[in-house]
Homo-oligomer: A and B are copies of this chain.
Amino acid sequence: MNKAELFQQIRKKESFLCVGLDTDIQKIPRNLLDTSDAIFAFNKEIIDATHDLAVAYKPNLAFYESMGVNGWNSLEKTVNYIRYKYPEIFIIADAKRGDIGNTSALYARAFFDTMDFDAVTVAPYMGEDSVKPFFTYVGKWVILLALTSNKGADDFQYVEEGGEKLFEKVIKKSQEWSNEDNMMYVVGATRAEMLSDIRKIAPNHFLLVPGVGAQGGSLAEVARYGMNSECGLLVNSSRQIIYASTGDDFAKKAREAALEVQKEMAELLKKYLK
């Protein structure tokens, strides 16, 4: 999916919502545990209930890997299901991978070829050759970690050399490797006001913003500081939506939670997009 197509979906659905499929076997309704693949069964119902309100889904790989081969199988089925049933949806592998060049090429194959994700999150620590192999797939995206939303972000991401913080250097340096047509950045919403600084060095890139909702970021602030003329935002919500209810009505309640976010997003798009 290219940038214009993504923006078209955002306008059509009046939404820039990404639903995080952080599916935890210990948190899904008990009655699903009788099915042969409870994780996939849960994801399928969540997807069917929210597909018209979200432009993206983002499974976090850790949730699937923690279940070994079975989890990896549930993940593949989930991606295939979205791709087949709702081909207009943007699918993000939240994998935070990154290795030497030859090895990153294999991660790219895993997520873009063996599985049909549209994007993968990548950690920048190992630099250019760890990121570039992902760009060889046409229509696929890298979402590079810049400023994350966790407490540990303070440890290294603010290291400053010559007036430039590490996360700023990541954003600037990576623009020598590719551009806004196949690269986005992860920017944590716990620091919404910093989005305006980031927009100075990445005015046209999409930003993937985690941490709205359960982690307490404000959607209105994110839109105020981060939205550009093509929206330029994907805002993720996981727990607030997929665990809106722990009972058998989980899909219905997930839809209600997603609808609430989508309505606010529709207002924000009206306000900031001419």
Contacts and interface: CB of A to CB of B under 8 A. Distances in A.
Interface of A: 22, 60, 62-63, 65-69, 72-73, 76, 94, 96-101, 103-104, 106-107, 109-110, 113-115, 123-131, 145, 148-157, 159-161, 166, 169-170, 173
Contacts of A68: 72, 76, 110, 114-115
A268 B150 CA distance: 44
A125 B145 contact: yes
Contacts of A104: 62
Report the copy number of this chain in the oligomer: 2
Contacts of A128: 151-152, 155
A169 B159 contact: yes
Contacts of A94: 99
Given A72-B72, A161-B161, A62 B99 contact: yes
Q: Which 8 pairs from chain A and chain B are nearest by CB?
A: A127-B152, A127-B155, A62-B106, A65-B110, A100-B150, A66-B106, A128-B152, A129-B152
Nearest to A159: B161
Given A125-B125, A126-B145, A159 B166 contact: yes
Given A65-B110, A66-B110, A72-B72, A170 B150 contact: no
Contacts of A129: 150-152
Nearest to A74: B69
Given A66-B107, A125-B124, A148-B126, A99 B169 contact: no
24 contacts: A60-B103, A62-B110, A63-B106, A65-B107, A66-B107, A67-B114, A68-B114, A69-B72, A98-B123, A124-B125, A124-B156, A125-B125, A125-B145, A126-B150, A126-B153, A127-B150, A127-B154, A128-B152, A129-B152, A130-B150, A131-B152, A156-B166, A156-B170, A159-B161
